[in-house]
Amino acid sequence: MPNILVTNDDGITAGGIAALVEVAREFGTVTVVAPDSPQSAQGHAITISKPLMVKKSKNFEGISAYECDGTPADCVKMAKHILFKNDKIDFCLSGINHGSNASINIIYSGTMSAAMEASIEGIPSIGFSLQDFSADADFTTSKTIVRQILSDVISGGDPPPSLLNVNIPNLPLKEIKGIKVCRQGNGRWKEDFQKGTDPRGQEYYWLAGEFHVDDDPSANTDLNALQDGYVSIVPSMHDLTDFPMIDKLSHLNSESV
Amino acid sequence: MPNILVTNDDGITAGGIAALVEVAREFGTVTVVAPDSPQSAQGHAITISKPLMVKKSKNFEGISAYECDGTPADCVKMAKHILFKNDKIDFCLSGINHGSNASINIIYSGTMSAAMEASIEGIPSIGFSLQDFSADADFTTSKTIVRQILSDVISGGDPPPSLLNVNIPNLPLKEIKGIKVCRQGNGRWKEDFQKGTDPRGQEYYWLAGEFHVDDDPSANTDLNALQDGYVSIVPSMHDLTDFPMIDKLSHLNSESV
């Protein structure tokens, strides 16, 4: 039985992690190490200026579970270096996030930062997200999808991919059209800030805004797959090099300054 | 004169941002929007659960400067949507960071998250980092390097690249061998946690560790360039898709679930 680390960014009491643990335990020995409070939009933040505390959690019956007062990436570091020590983590699963992490949201996402942190450590990882931000999101469909993907990735026999970003449309199972392996869509937040005045008369700005899709509707992207009722799987990586630009910028190379 | 937004993650009073502003103002009209306190290792965190405050700063003579109580990525969002409103930001410069952001450190880096946030908005951006973590790091050499790079990127006439990660070795100018445009090096933190007990008897863990290089010494990477005494420039991007894997995982595509 493989060792499976499960984490998330919505915190250890979220419905999404309970759903993920429920399916993951069918595939291996699950250990949960998750933030003790919600950590959405934390990106790949890690905690360096203060110590971290970790304690046993009773949130999951029959499973080793720990809550940590750090970020999702901190949880993975703690799991690997403190809790697992010399035991191997075979897979890391993060989520199921309450809300989409398609397109550039992979960059802001705590869910995906945890998965990416594990992938940097050589642990094959998958982040799962459901397109429903609500705290009481229904993960019934998601559990079926997660089971289908884990059957292939964990039990399928092929070498597992290093990092997958899986997003699930918020639809009943029978309305889901299928699964598409695709690229990260082009989109961005058209920000708006809610402007207000605090009780002490100071102006404040609260981040708001809506997501804007920049892709052609026929492109094989996660945004289009979700729009069409498909589950999207984007194979992802932590090498951010724009390789074609290395040659284009060769005039910047110099042997003196 | 182009409009240049300058930001960082070490906070508005850091020596590195003062050095960057000093050079940037030779190339355009500079506006500073930076965190009011250090935000290292914040990754691409953004602030969604509380409002942000921004106020005028008197830290830079003759320059519009603002400090914000958010993350580096928040500062860029605030600059674009509140402070610049309909004015165009032509370039975003972030840093000069106190400490290297080579290799995978781009992922943890607040400096690079600010630059990446601007690049997502279509603003050509450069993050600069000096390989010296100390608060009183000497930016004399860095200023010459920044000037040389901005002369090309801002004043050179070519369309500017969307995102550059520039790292500068901590050497006197005459010992710097030149500049290399290269790829992100493979490396990772071999973590260690300093374990201790707090005044109330609770165990804590404080992140520590050293960086481990996984690349062949002949590879054209930022880690090797820095090791050899060169300034490294890695053209970077926010599309994290691992394109070759899309085909390799095609067996996961399905028209039903």
Please report whether residue A241 resides in a domain. Answer: yes
Cα–Cα distance measured from residue B225 to residue A239, given in angstroms and rounded to the nearest whole number? 17
pLDDT, tens digit, 9 for 90 and up, residues B190-235: 888 999 999 999 999 999 888 989 899 999 999 999 999 999 999 9
Domain-located, residue B228: yes
Closest Cα of chain B to A104: distance in Å? 7
pTM: 0.94
pLDDT the model gives residue A49: 87
With beta carbons less than 8 A apart as the criterion, state whether B45 and A43 touch.
yes
Backbone angles phi, psi at B35, to 5 degrees: -65, 145
Q: What is the pLDDT of residues B60-108, one digit of tens each?
A: 999 999 999 999 999 999 999 989 987 999 999 999 999 999 999 999 9
CA distances from B72 to A36, A138, B25, B35 (A): 25, 34, 21, 6
CATH of the domain at B124: 3.40.1210.10
Residues of A in contact with B130 (CB under 8 A): none
Q: Find the length of chain B.
A: 257
B249 → closest Cβ in A40, A233, A257: A233
User: Closest approach of chain B CAs to the CA of A4, in angstroms?
Assistant: 20
Decide if B113 touches A, using CB distance below 8 A: yes
Q: Is A241 in contact with B184 (Cβ distance < 8 A)?
A: yes
Q: Which structural domain, as residue segments, surrounds residue B15?
A: 3-185+217-252
Q: How many C-beta neighbours within 10 Å does residue A227 have?
A: 16
Given a cut of 90, whether residue A153 has pLDDT beyond it is yes
Burial class (CB in 10 A: 0-12, 13-18, 19+), A209: middle
Contact flag A43-B113 (C-beta cutoff 8 Å) = yes
Which of the 8 DSSP states describes residue A149? H
Across the interface, whether the CB atoms of A40 and B49 are under 8 A apart is answered: yes
- B81 secondary structure, DSSP code: I
Q: Strand B64-68 to strand B54-56: parallel, antiparallel, or no bridges (unpaired)?
A: antiparallel
Contacts of B86 in chain A (CB under 8 A): none
Minimal Cα distance from A108: which residue of B?
B44
- Partners of residue B248 in chain A, C-beta under 8 Å: 161, 235
> Would residue A199 count as lying in a domain?
no
B116 near A CB under 8 A:
yes
Beta-strand relationship, A203-213 and A187-197: antiparallel
CB nearest to B43's CB, from A44, A148, A253: A44
| Phi–psi pair at A88, nearest 5 degrees | -85, 135
Q: Is residue A204 part of a domain?
A: no
Judge: A242–B254 Cβ closer than 8 Å, yes or no.
no
What's the pLDDT score for residue A157? 86
Answer yes or no: is pLDDT of A230 > 90. yes
Contacts of B171 in chain A (CB under 8 A): none
- The reply to whether A75 falls in a domain is yes
Quick check: B205 and A78 CB within 8 A? yes
Question: Which residues 225-244 of B have a C-beta within 8 angstroms of A?
Answer: 231, 233-243
Structural domain includes residue A210: no
Number of residue pairs across A and B with CB atoms under 8 Å?
A: 244
The pLDDT confidence band at residue B43, using thresholds 50, 70 and 90, is: confident
Give the pLDDT score at A42: 84
Asked if B42 and B33 touch (Cβ cutoff 8 Å), the reply is no
Neighbours of B211 (CB within 10 A): 14
Q: Name residue, tokens 């026999």.
A: A157
In a domain, B190, yes or no: no
Give Cβ neighbours of residue A55 (< 8 Å, ≥ 6 apart). A66, A67
Which chain B residues are Cβ-neighbours of A237 within 8 angstroms? 240-242
Q: Report chain B residues whose CB lies below 8 A from the CB of A196.
A: 51
Q: What is the rounded distance in angstroms from the CA atom of residue A123 to the CA atom of residue B178?
A: 37
CA angle B131, B135, B141 (to 5 degrees): 45
Min mean pLDDT across A160-164, B27-31, B143-147, B211-215 is at B211-215
Determine the pLDDT at residue A43. 85
A57 token code pair: 């959690």
B174 phi/psi in degrees, rounded to 5: -70, -15
- Return the pLDDT at A41: 81
Side-chain-facing half-sphere of A47: CA atoms under 13 Å: 21
Tell me how many domains chain B contains. Answer: 1
- Taking contacts as CB-CB distances below 8 angstroms, the residues of chain A near B173 are 257
Assembly ipTM: 0.92
Asked if residue A126 is part of any domain, the answer here is yes
Min Cα–Cα distance to chain B from A176, Å: 7
